[in-house]
Amino acid sequence: MAFPLVVLYRQVSYEERRDWPVLANHACEMYQRPGTPREPGSYQAPIGQKTSTDLNAQTLYQKCGAEFLGTALLVYIGCGTLTGVGYLTGGAAAFRGVDLLAVSLAFGLALAILVYALGHISGGHFNPAVSIALACVRRQPWSETGAYLVSQFLGSLLGALGVAVTFGAAAARILGYGATDYNPLFVNYFTACVVEAIVTFFLVLVIMAMVNDRRAKPGWAGLMIGFTVTVGILVTGAVTGGSLNPARSFGSTIIQMAFGGAYPISHMFVYFIGPIIGGIIGAFAYEYLSGLRATEPTLYPGAEPGPGD
């Protein structure tokens, strides 16, 4: 059998034999196990996981639409729960620890669900402090950040309007629509900003760790970020209301005042100053601690090369 094979080989032209390695490589690629790197040192996201390339395929309108819808739903669920608990307990005076837990879980679980549902489209920020922090460390282009902020603030207005429709106009004066305000028994204007900065610092630190560092388990990102918001509200709910999010405070405050509710408007800026400063510090702190370096803007787990790649 060896002799006919040798003859057959010799009858094939040199040009045809030259193409055999190329054909063999194509055949290997067809049967390559999914998720196996094709080049030494390269990184390939797991099946079903989005990378920066996938996000870049989305138009800016689609990304902003996801941020608009996600922020609206976050505000509606979280602030709606806060308003509903206020009604069931007869007002803020009867607010108990179990009620704080319910509100904290509402915000945290809503955020986790929305990150899993819409994160592959826009990155799942739903928070101006997060968008600004990621832009400062070059994880998001500044050219998109402004559009994200507009979408988030408009979405917060829609979500708060949904709370108004659900509970009626009278609730703005009796219960409020979930607008956050600091407690003067514990803090003043400055220390309220500091408290909000601290909890947002930890939120962005977790986001950087779970989303931008591929050494973390990306499938846990949404849940861990949601739990971070939950524990942040548990700690600061009685002190500042636990906002961690300028858009969340903006929408509920504006709609509450539009329907006749009282609110000291200057207090709203606590929830801009504190979270934005804290978020920026948290992003830079994680980059320093982890040695993470920015190579290109990334918005979703699995796309960011780790140190040394």
Q: 57-71, 88-102, 237-251, 255-269: which range is least confident on average?
A: 88-102
146 falls within a domain = yes
Alpha helical stretches, state H, 31-181:
52-57, 60-89, 97-122, 128-136, 142-167, 170-174
CATH, residue 263: 1.20.1080.10
User: Which amino acid type is present at position 46?
Assistant: P
40 falls within a domain = no
Average pLDDT over the chain, rounded to an integer: 80
| DSSP H or E run through 288 | helix 270-290
63 falls within a domain = yes
User: Which amino acid type is present at position 112?
Assistant: A
Percentage with pLDDT > 90 across the chain: 62
305 falls within a domain = no
307 falls within a domain = no
Question: How many domains would you assign to the chain?
Answer: 1
Range of the domain at 129: 53-290
Res. 91 pLDDT band, cuts 50 70 90: low
Three-class SS of residue 58?
coil
Q: Radius of gyration over alpha carbons of the chain, in Å?
A: 25
Q: 38-42, 269-273, 292-296: which range is least confident on average?
A: 38-42
Res. 292 pLDDT band, cuts 50 70 90: confident
In this structure, the chain runs to a length of 309
pLDDT value for 33: 40
In whole angstroms, give the CA distance from residue 246 to residue 131.
11
68 falls within a domain = yes
Q: Is the pTM of this model over 0.85?
A: no
112 falls within a domain = yes
- Give CA 20 to chain center in angstroms: 49
Query: Integer distance in angstroms from the first to the last C-alpha of the chain?
Result: 50
Three-class SS of residue 300?
coil
Q: Is-contact 160 256, C-beta < 8 A?
A: yes
Q: Which two tokens stand for residue 53?
A: 């390339």
Angle, to 10 degrees, between the axis of helix 142-167 and the axis of helix 128-136?
Answer: 170
What's the average model confidence in pLDDT over 34-54?
40
Three-class SS of residue 265?
helix
48 falls within a domain = no
In whole angstroms, give the CA distance from residue 125 to residue 167.
27
